[in-house]
Structure 1
Amino acid sequence: MNQDVALKPGFAGHIPASWADADAAALSAGARVGVSPPHESAHLHVAGAAPYIDDIPEAAGTLHAALGLSPVAAGRLVNIDRERLMAMPGVVAVFTASDLPGVNDCGPVVHDDPILADGTLRYLGQPVALIVATERDLARRAAALIKDCLIIEPAAPVLTQRAAHARGDYVLKPAHLIRESTEGALERARVAAPHRLRGQFSLGGQEQFYLEGQISYAIPAENDGMRVLCSTQHPSEMQHVIAHALGWRSHQVLVECRRMGGGFGGKESQSALFACAAALAAHRLQRPVKLRLDRDDDFLITGRRHGFEYDYDVAFEETGRILAIEADLIANAGHSADLSGAVMTRALCHLDNAYFLPEVAIHGYNARTNTQSNTAFRGFGGPQGALLIEIVMDRIARALGRDPLDVRRANFYGTDERNVTPYGQVVEDNVVHKIVDDLLADSDYRKRRAAIEAFNRHSEVLKKGIALTPVKFGISFNVPHLNQAGALVHVYVDGSILVNHGGTEMGQGLNTKVAQIVADALGVGFAAVRCTATDTSKVANTSATAASTGADLNGMAAQDAALTIRARLAGFAAQRYGGSAENVRFANDEVKIGTTILPFATLVRQAYEARVQLWSDGFYATPKVHWDPKTLRGRPFYYFAYGAAVSEVVVDTLTGEFSLLRADILHDAGRSLNPAIDIGQIEGAFIQSMGWLTMEELVWHPQSGMLLTHAPSTYKIPTANDCPDALNVRLFDNPNAEPTIHRSKAVGEPPMLLAFSVLLAIRDAIAATGGQGADPPLRAPATPEAILDAVDAVRSAAT
């Protein structure tokens, strides 16, 4: 089918009738991928019938837990008055760090993250005690009194990454990505360059704001076992960390996750603390224990997207082509390492975005602060790295009096010697030129820019802006051994198929895509295939569903298993009916062997009666990826996904408010497995990223370290009203150059970069309030306050 299909303006997510007709034709021809069956749980979601962990009927005797939190951001915990907490109504037990039989740690990489405070208090909101009661409200009431039951010696907290950077206090050693053509070439380029810019930029973090909060339900099993239902993107890691906390072997712990109500990275590593706490209480009390966080506690305990501070120095030619760049990236890691090392590595490796940078020195610092430990978030550092180069491109253009798009195009990766990234990977699949050319024409960018300039000349208060920004996003875990997946496929005697894989479903449609892949491999309809809950007792040692690799890895593993079964069935069919196995065809729930046509279910029963194995495991490991974490060199990405977006905004210079008037997006999903789901992912990522860059502001009290934006009442996320009337999204028809699953490309994280165009369009509108070459000092998020600050600065510079 033609995947280059536009969505009708004003109807985000609407599938045109022509698309539905194309789907119907493809389905009748036997296609099961490249078509758009609905999300396998969509009917349950809209009916409110999709069961999440808190909807599962509780076992008899279930207790409920809540966490008592530190009221200070730094200090020493001297004592906890357990007796006072135990005297509260309904309280059954109070556990502290000393009650853990195993290791008091839930750090995913560096073992520096206690489950319960071990004496040192690191941030306001850190769990210091686990209170278990007969009812959830009773547990929460007791936990709320924890501040009156603690003896603390407080200390002065460090709350910003620049303050920590000045002290040289980091959770990990600094990382340096340096590429020079010859020794000293960077400095020589800076000295000889006709133009040079220095600057700073500030970028805030972002709360994941998953609809289903953190929750774990631990149920003791026989013979020192534990079953844990956990809302997590990484069941295997939960299994291992629970076993360590209890002093057990991994085989004693079973972790299960049918679905999450959103994750976005916030449930990759940080679900561990809650899984361990629930398992500890269940083990010690030999009763089922559920721990479901209140939203405020979720904000106060868990980390989020790393905020970054940047210092940069760039040298460039008259055309705007960059000759050399040096940059310091200072991330707010929070109180522990968590996944900050990998986040920073990905930021360093994405700073180039779609541009060739000849002489480069990028320095990454993960600053330790007395705040929540920041973690994975959709894009995993990639957006934080790539945004800086887009800000730099915009500043260069304004310094030269050029259209920012022309400066961007002058710096694009090429196909000659200008196609090697700073970390040494050759860009072999570059289509950014074609995508930008197509979008430039379809969006009428040049015509609209001229119209905007005319509008701004005659409008004193309202100013419009427009920007076109590209995307190049690497796909793979940047830790090579994580690029693997397993799956189990069972074919039952009636021809129905059950699939279990190591990925987790958080609403992104992974199970739908895997079911499509298996249905395609076995030539059956979607109704014949069912995906079950992710379960560590079925597929072991899985990687997190993260880094946009869910369908790439688990789809390949499931296909591997399905094709193994198909080969067995084909061999059996050829043996029984004659001919060769290679000529047996599976399609439309039928099997064709020469002139004989059988229902798929009939052949399956015959094979079963002939004792042919009808189940198989499957495995996939991503080829080609390799990485040296010491030198920051290698091929960390199997391939790149590309895209581009044009955004047009209007800014009210009196109030600082802005509106997104129109967005045009062309995005590369390879040969899409499910175009409707991929369109939805693109739209969702774009709006989520726009929220991060324009309105989602995190604020800590400057003395106490209290997160002030800790609830929906104080933390603003985008709503349907923030979507533009015209949101035009197209998929770029570009089969993956690498043999991924059906030549598709990942689509979870790359579209986060598309919303850079919104922030840059706001900069463009603010610049119109000044004279020629106005360069707005706009920070992100571009809240009304930030916009007004930038407007004032531009107007002051013009007078």
Structure 2
Amino acid sequence: MRSLIDVKKAQTQKIQTNTDKSVVNGQKNVGLGGVGRSKKHESSDKQVAGEAIYVDDRPALRGELHAAVGQSTIAHGNIKSIDLSAVKAAEGVVAVITVEDVPGHTDIGPVFPGDPVLAIGKVEFIGQPIFAVAATSYDLARKAAKLAKIEYQELEAVLTVKDALTKQSFVRPPFTMKRGDSASAIASAQHQLSGEIQVGGQEHMYLEGQVSTAEPTEDGGMSIYTSSQHPSEVQKLVAEVLDIPLNKVLVDMRRMGGGFGGKETQAAPWACIAALLANVTKRPVKFKLGRMDDMIMTGKRHPFENNYTVGFDNEGQIKGINIEVNGNCGYSPDLSDAIVDRAMFHSDNAYFLDQATVTGNRCKLNTVSHTAYRGFGGPQGMMTIEMVMDEIARHLGKDPLEIRKVNLYGHEDRNETHYHQEVEHNNLPEIIATLEQSSDYQARRKAVTEFNENNSILKKGIALTPVKFGISFTVQHLNQAGALVHIYTDGTIHLSHGGSEMGQGLNTKVAQIVAEEFQVDVDTVACSAARTDKVPNSSPTAASSGTDLNGKAAEAAAKTIKQRLIDFACEKYQVKAEQVKFENNNIIVGEQTFSFAEFSQIAYMGRVSLSSTGFYKTPKIHFDRATGKGRPFFYYATGASVSEVLIDTLTGEYKNLRTDILQDVGHSINPAIDIGQIEGAFIQGQGWLTTEELVWNEQGRLLSNNPATYKIPAINDAPEDFRVALVPDAPNREHTIYNSKAVGEPPFMLGMSVWSALKDAVASVSNYKVSPQLDTPATPERVLWAVESVKAQAQD
């Protein structure tokens, strides 16, 4: 770790241009490829100018129709009758289909069955698609869908996690990870505490809604243009519902206007419905969801209700702990099994849990099926242990940071997780120590306490929270990727990989990697759409693994071509391999220097293949679910944040005054993009924990179903003073692409420092004697209720 001065330099360092060869974030830029150098997002100019083409921006195809669906109006019931005569007779309607018109599979569950493409005899949430309409315009399709007459036999609906637990209503069986005898350790500890927390869900609120266009092809196949994080899954499911081979389905995905996990599995239904209608009409069909329909019919981050019992000593060190995480999965399995697993994996966050039992329940409710969201259950799991840290601190009258330090991984032999993976190369103690110093935490802690002593209405809080996040898909087979690289005879390079660009800069980073291999300017590398006919069987772009997987695959393809060029040069010019160098847009062969373009032409004339695929699979990872043991993660990404807040105890309103972040991204491939990802993830995490509230009524209807009733963070919610730094000189000790580390999901959980700081401010009302109960999202109302509760407890 570098000194405080170096970290502050990193905080204030100006973004480097792609022609600047200075040191950036502690590493030297090498070559025109620009790995390690900041470069703007490849689509940024087009996005700012409004010229970037998204699925809905594509010119209408000849004869194109528009789709809509009829939705269930009850949360749970059998369908007694459906009268679609008025729908079929409506203006502009060309076709109407139900599940009986599906020629192939009717269930499109991504892992386990349970997700019918259209309702089969019953409905299980308000908004579930029952039938689909194709009409000549978007508005006419939507109007027609509302004309259906459907009778139901209503059934009892499960609408709360507690009700699901009572009735043992699960989408998948419960699962437990265990190490040691936690019950005995808790009982014999000097102190015991127990508690529970409700962790709210979160709407993805991507700028571009769900949208797909299906175009029939001459061979009975289908071309799909979709906003999806998983084109290969869309290909598979479209083929299955149409009952055609996969090689007759082409999926093209150039860019998404945001995904955040909401388009990993839940882009597929709309592509399937569009394809079914296109198959019936033999005309192209576009299906785009209006914002309210999108919010009603697509899943969100899983709400969780977690509880714990912990035993600890006088120093605050945990001796034993039981944690139960209860995920609200909605009506179907979707990805909930893996999501609740990850909540269990991350129930330790950054802390050693020696004697531990962690149980996960996958609760089935009659709401929309919840799905992947940035962090994939990890954030919900971490919240419980961060609550425990605060509770122990208040119980012992200590600073929560002191308790967090005492329980960190890294003390002596305290480096094995409750699922028996060793936490290797752990730099969290150094990150926390550096951030504590660079943020002036101790001085500010003292100033906050003094402020609270002198102010009865306004109160401040401060908290420093760490993050340790495992990187890899926890399902082993998904940890693979492919890429395709061509060099043309003018020296320009074409790149295609299996990852999806959703605004995170994946295409920019992978292009930098290819340019680095050939030592050419990154602007000579063109990255095309993700297409299933170029890179087959791709994994979803998720789990923070986009660059790790696709970057390695692209590197492998580039290395293959590079070796061919070296071999050709050695044969043609009678030199040794070490005399062939790639440098500054040139290829140096002995005493001769050729431009990259010139040598590409020479190699073509010499009949050298200038095209190659590349493949990568993540090493070392494994997990035995039967024993709850293994190494599910290739490595851990780490970071920490300090947030200081101000609350009004009369209204519950609050402001984030300052946030300092120090994040380890290894050797950054693109510091500007990484810092942007950290800033965006933090703000999104803060929104999840403070303002973004999902509300269902007693009938199971989503009330927070539009931007007017659901509050995402605005510019005024950002910290007034926002400082972000990358850990300098911190190459990943595992063999990742250029020794970088993932940055997509880990910073999201840094938002926990805001929630913990709010709790700190509320606790000051009782002079820190009472630890407040503050469920999330910690809206002003909840903060006010917590203040009033703490006041009442302090008077008892």
TM-score band w.r.t. shorter chain: over 0.9
Q: Letter of the aligned partner of 1:81 in structure 2?
A: D
Tell me the residue number matched to 1:159: 159
CA distance in 2, matches of 1:60, 1:463: 63
Deviates more, 1:656-665 or 1:80-89: 80-89
Which amino acid is 1:682 matched to?
A: I
The amino acid across from 2:206 in the alignment is Y
What do the CA deviations read for 1:444-499 (whole angstroms, capped 9, x no partner)? 00000000000001111110000000111100000111100000000001100000
Give the 5 Å matches for 1:646-725. Answer: 646-702=642-698, 704-725=699-720
Q: Which residue of 1 aligns with 2:785?
A: 789
Q: Is the 8 A contact 2:29 2:35 kept in 1?
A: no
Is the 8 Å Cα contact of residues 33 and 521 (structure 2) preserved in structure 1?
A: no
State the match for 1:221 in structure 2.
217
**Structure 1 segment 26-425 matched on structure 2, within 5 A:** 30=32, 32-146=34-148, 149-180=149-180, 185-414=181-410, 416-425=412-421
Partners of 2:423 and 2:23 in 1: CA distance: 34
Contact 1:215-1:293 at 8 Å conserved across structures: yes
1:732 matched to 2:727? The reply is: yes
Query: Counterpart of 2:597?
Result: 601
**2: distance between equivalents of 1:528 and 1:18?**
13
1:7-42 C-alpha deviation (Å, 9 max, x unpaired) = 898x9x973899967379966854520001110001
Q: What does the per-residue CA deviation read over 1:720-751, in whole Å, with 9 as the maximum and x for residues that have no partner?
A: 11111211000012100001000000000000
Q: Which amino acid aligns with 1:99?
A: D
- Show CA shifts across 1:109-153 (max 9, x none): 11111111111110000001101101110001112334xx11111
Q: CA RMSD in A?
A: 1.8
Alignment CA distance shift 1:260-1:23 (3 Å) = farther
User: Which deviates more from structure 2 when the two are superposed, residues 574-583 or residues 681-690?
Assistant: 574-583
Figure out how many residues of one structure are paired with residues of the other and give that number.
789
Query: Which residue of 1 is the match for residue 637 of structure 2?
Result: 641
Tell me how far 1:758 sits from its aligned partner: 0.3
Q: Deviations over 1:742-784 (max 9, x none)?
A: 0000000000111100000000000011144211011110001
- Distance between the aligned counterparts of 2:375 and 2:646, measured in 1? 27
CA-to-aligned-CA distance 1:490-539 (integer Å, 9 cap, x gap): 00011000001000000000000000000000111011101000000111
* CA distance in 1 between partners of 2:790 and 2:101 (Å): 59
- Cα offsets for 1:706-732 (capped at 9, x unmatched): 100000010000011111121100001
Contact 2:97/2:132 (CA < 8 Å) preserved in 1? yes
Residue type of the alignment partner of 1:497: I
Residue identity in the other structure for 2:713 = P
The separation in 1 between residues aligned to 2:393 and 2:343, in whole angstroms, is 23
Q: Tell me by how many angstroms 1:547 deviates.
A: 0.1
Give the 3 Å change call, closer, same or farther, for CA 17–438 of structure 1 in structure 2.
farther
In the alignment, does 2:492 pair up with 1:462? no
Contact 1:5 1:19 in 2 (8 A): no
The amino acid across from 1:101 in the alignment is P
| Aligned-pair CA distance for 1:286 | 0.5
Residue pair 1:63, 1:134 contacting (<8 A) in 2 also: yes
Q: Distance in 2 between matches of 1:612 and 1:6?
A: 50
Q: Distance in 1 between matches of 2:10 and 2:595?
A: 40
Q: Distance in 2 between matches of 1:625 and 1:4?
A: 35
Give yes or no for contact 2:33–2:517 (8 Å, CA) kept in 1: no
Which residues in structure 2 correspond to 1:745-760 (within 5 Å)?
745-760=741-756
Query: How far apart, CA to CA, are the structure 2 residues paired with 1:20 and 1:796?
Result: 60
Kindly tell me: are residues 242 and 437 of structure 1, through their superposed partners in 2, closer, same or farther at Cα, counting changes over 3 Å? same
SS in 2 for 1:377: coil
Q: Cα offset for 1:789?
A: 1.1
* Farther off after superposition, 346-355 or 503-512: 346-355
CA distance in 1, matches of 2:603, 2:490: 11
574, 578, 583: which one pairs with 1:582?
A: 578
CA contact (8 A) 2:316 2:393 kept: yes
C-alpha displacement of 1:272? 1.1
- The 8 Å contact of residues 696 and 702 in structure 2, kept in 1 or not, is answered as yes
AA of the residue aligned to 2:702: L
Contact 1:644–1:665 (CA under 8 A) maintained in structure 2: yes
| Contact residue 7 and residue 729 of structure 1 kept, 8 A | no
Kindly provide the amino acid, as one letter, of the partner of residue 116 in structure 2: P
Residue aligned with 1:351, SS: helix
Amino acid at match of 1:133: A
Q: 1:627 to 1:20 in 2, by over 3 A?
A: same
Deviations 1:291-311 (A, max 9, x none): 000000001100010000012
Distance 1:749 1:381 in 2: 11
CA contact (8 A) 1:662 1:727 kept: yes
Letter in 2 for 1:267: K
The 1-side partners of 2:643 and 2:716 are apart by 16
Rounded Cα–Cα distance in structure 1 between residues aligned with 2:539 and 2:30: 36
TM-score norm. by structure 1 comes to 0.97
Render the CA deviation track for 1:345-373: whole Å, top value 9, x for unaligned: 11111111111100011110010000010
Q: Deviations along 1:197-229, whole A, 9 cap, x unmatched?
A: 011111100001000000010000011110000
Paired residue type of 1:609: M
Question: Aligned AA for 2:389?
Answer: M
**CA distance in 2 between partners of 1:573 and 1:31 (Å):** 22
CA distance in 2, matches of 1:742, 1:74: 51
State how far apart, in whole Å, the 2-side matches of 1:602 and 1:670 are.
36
Amino acid across the alignment from 2:456: E
| Equivalent residue letter for 2:681 | A
1:574 CA displacement:
1.9
Q: Does 1:440 align with 2:436?
A: yes
Q: Secondary structure at the match of 1:364?
A: strand
Please report the TM-score for the alignment, with normalisation by the length of structure 2: 0.97
Question: Which residue does the alignment assign to 1:761?
Answer: 757
Residue 588 of structure 2: aligned partner:
592
Amino acid at match of 2:583: A
Give the secondary-structure state (helix, strand or coil) at the position aligned to 2:329.
Answer: strand
Q: Find the residue that maps to 2:766 and give its secondary structure.
A: coil
Alpha-carbon separation, structure 1, partners of 2:220 and 2:452: 71
Aligned residue number for residue 501 of structure 2: 505
Cα distance, 1:154 vs structure 2? 1.7
* Cα pair distance change 1:591/1:465, threshold 3 Å: same
> Alignment partner of 1:61: what SS?
coil
Distance 1:354 1:419 in 2: 10
Q: 1:688 to 1:591 in 2, by over 3 A?
A: same
Query: Aligned partners of 1:480 and 1:28: how far apart in 2?
Result: 34
CA distance in 2, matches of 1:66, 1:18: 46
Between the aligned partners of 2:9 and 2:386, the Cα distance in structure 1 is 27
- Aligned-pair identity in percent equals 51
Partner SS, residue 769 of structure 1:
helix
For 1:22, the equivalent position in structure 2 comes to 22
- Alignment check: 8 A CA contact 1:7 1:14 kept: no
